[in-house]
């Protein structure tokens, strides 16, 4: 017979079983990392209005949330602290009794090695000006003075028991300085998840509500310009040379080309952070009945995975992990 297609890709799409058999990308709970917020001095968890379903935890509710995430099989937890008092140098970040360090200790005490406990290593949650570093006399973010603070912060987090530290401030040399500080203090087992290509993004808006950041100005002098891709490769080469164990691209959805570029370039695990604004967009559209929430969540995560990330930070980690378990 002539006139009929010789090739019929639709054959492999006929049934759920056939589609499952040929699926090129699968999600697994173990590759999902849940970001968690903990606030100093509160008695009840506080909802974050721009992130429906996300809360600022108390120390107690954080322990419970960590436990639930482990039960769901989530691969890791990324902790963010919100101190009661902020100051120019972010003192709370390096205080062993500061909220983030206390929370690391609490969570590691609760879940031990059952999941990977990570901490955001950055000053913006702790500074009153909201920048990721300390400022010089002219009000600019002082790279090298900030590195000294990061080194101290890394030690505080390692001493609290963090398995991985996540420098997210985009200071030049941050990975190298943190690696040496950790090694000199005998913490060679503590790894670095480097925010390698972190873009100056509007998608972090809801996060700044979550950590009550009162940023004056913007982060354009340290985070990357959304226009640039080659620059991500430069940052990548530096982070690898300085000792990054895992590299991360952030945000995820508007930067899937960068995820692919990075995944093709290195042999360390690549993570992507589906950030607060990505979460808020989907939740807001779904709340209006404009999209099918669960379907879109799954599609975004599949897209990030397909682009080459083997680890995904997502505020939906526990919910999605539970779906995936049910489907097995
Ligand atoms: C910096 C940090 C930010 C996020 C993670 N780490 C904020 C920023 O760079 O302004 C954003 C995460 C999100 O939006 O979900 N400590």
Residue 75: is the preceding peptide bond cis (ω within 30°)?
A: no
Task: Decide if 92 contacts 41 (C-beta within 8 A).
Answer: no
Q: Is the peptide bond before 39 cis (omega within 30 degrees of 0)?
A: no
Flag whether 219 is marked binding: yes
Q: Is 80 exceeded by the pLDDT of residue 1?
A: no
Is 235 annotated as contributing to ligand binding? Answer: yes
pLDDT score recorded for residue 5 = 93
8 A C-beta contact, residue 82 and residue 212: yes
Q: Is residue 239 part of a domain?
A: yes
Which of 165, 193, 204 has most ligand 1 atoms within 8 Å of CB, for mutation? 204
Q: What is the mean pLDDT of the chain?
A: 97
pLDDT at residue 21 is higher than 90:
yes
How far is it, in rounded angstroms, from Cα 146 to Cα 149? 5
Residue 18 lies in a domain: no
Ligand 1: does its nearest atom lie under 6 Å from the Cβ of 118?
A: no
% of the chain beyond a pLDDT of 70: 99
Given this model, what pLDDT does residue 282 score?
98
Q: How far is CA 280 from the centre of its chain?
A: 15
Q: What residue owns the CA closest to ligand 1's atom 6?
A: 168
Tell me the residue range of the domain where 68 lies: 27-327
pLDDT tens digits, one per residue of 213-250? 878 889 999 999 999 999 999 999 999 999 999 999 99
pLDDT of 216? 81
Residue at 17 is within a domain: no
Q: Quick check: is 107 in a domain? A: yes
In a domain, 9, yes or no: no
Question: With a threshold of 0.90, does the pTM exceed it?
Answer: yes
CATH code of residue 210: 3.20.20.70
- Does ligand 1 have an atom closer than 6 angstroms to the CB of 275? yes
255-309 pLDDT, tens per residue? 999 999 999 999 999 999 999 999 999 999 999 999 999 999 999 999 999 999 9
pLDDT digits (tens, 9 = 90+) for 100-109: 999 999 999 9
Q: Say if residue 208 carries a ligand binding annotation.
A: yes
Give CA–CA dist 171/215, Å, rounded.
17
Angle (deg, nearest 10), helices 230-242 and 174-184: 10
C-alpha span between 3 and 182 (Å, rounded): 68
Give domain status of residue 1, yes or no: no
**Which residues are designated catalytic?**
198, 250
Contact between 120 and 275 under an 8 Å Cβ cutoff? The reply is no
Residue 55 confidence (pLDDT) above 90: yes
Torsion on CA atoms 248, 251, 256, 257, rounded to nearest 10: -80
CA distance 246 to 168: 13
pLDDT at residue 166, rounded to an integer:
98
pLDDT at 3: 81
State whether the beta carbon of 27 lies less than 6 angstroms from ligand 1.
Answer: no
> pLDDT tens for residues 157-189?
999 999 999 999 999 999 999 999 999 999 999
Reference 166, options 209, 116, 200, 130; nearest CA is 116
pLDDT digits over 86-95, tens only? 999 999 999 9
Between the CA of 295 and the centroid of ligand 1 the distance, in Å, is 26
In a domain, 190, yes or no: yes
pLDDT of residue 2 exceeding 80: no
306 in a known ligand binding site: no
- Total domains present in the chain: 1
pLDDT the model gives residue 26: 97
In a domain, 60, yes or no: yes
Question: If you measure from the C-alpha of residue 207 to the centroid of ligand 1, how many angstroms do you get, rounded to a whole number?
Answer: 6
């Amino acid at each position: 017979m002539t006139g009929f297609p010789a090739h019929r890709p639709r054959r492999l799409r006929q049934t759920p079983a056939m589609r499952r058999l040929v699926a090129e990308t699968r999600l697994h709970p173990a590759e999902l990392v849940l970001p968690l917020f903990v606030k100093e001095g509160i008695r009840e968890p506080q909802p974050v209005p721009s992130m429906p379903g996300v809360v600022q935890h108390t120390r107690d509710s954080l322990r419970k949330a960590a436990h639930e995430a482990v039960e769901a099989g989530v691969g890791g937890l990324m902790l963010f602290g919100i101190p009661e008092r902020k100051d120019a140098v972010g003192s709370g970040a390096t205080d062993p009794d500061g909220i983030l360090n206390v929370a690391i200790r609490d969570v590691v005490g609760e879940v031990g090695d059952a999941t990977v406990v990570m901490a955001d290593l950055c000053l913006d949650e702790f500074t009153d000006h909201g920048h990721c570093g300390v400022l010089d006399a002219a009000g600019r973010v002082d790279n090298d003075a900030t590195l000294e603070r990061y080194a101290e912060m890394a030690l505080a987090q390692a001493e609290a028991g963090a398995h991985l530290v996540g420098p997210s401030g985009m200071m030049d040399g941050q990975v190298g300085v943190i690696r040496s500080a950790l090694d000199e203090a005998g913490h060679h087992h503590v790894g670095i998840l480097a925010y390698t290509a972190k873009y100056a993004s509007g998608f972090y808006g809801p996060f700044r509500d979550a950590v009550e950041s009162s940023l004056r100005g913007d982060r354009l002098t340290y985070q990357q310009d959304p226009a640039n891709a080659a620059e991500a490769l430069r940052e990548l080469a530096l982070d690898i040379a300085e000792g990054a164990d895992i590299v991360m691209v952030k945000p995820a959805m508007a930067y899937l080309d960068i995820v692919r570029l990075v995944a093709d370039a290195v042999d360390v695990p690549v993570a992507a952070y589906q950030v607060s604004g990505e979460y808020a967009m989907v939740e807001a559209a779904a709340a209006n009945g404009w999209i099918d929430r669960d379907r879109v969540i799954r599609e975004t995560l599949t897209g990030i995975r397909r682009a080459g990330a083997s680890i995904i930070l997502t505020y939906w980690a526990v919910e999605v992990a539970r779906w995936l378990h049910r489907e097995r």
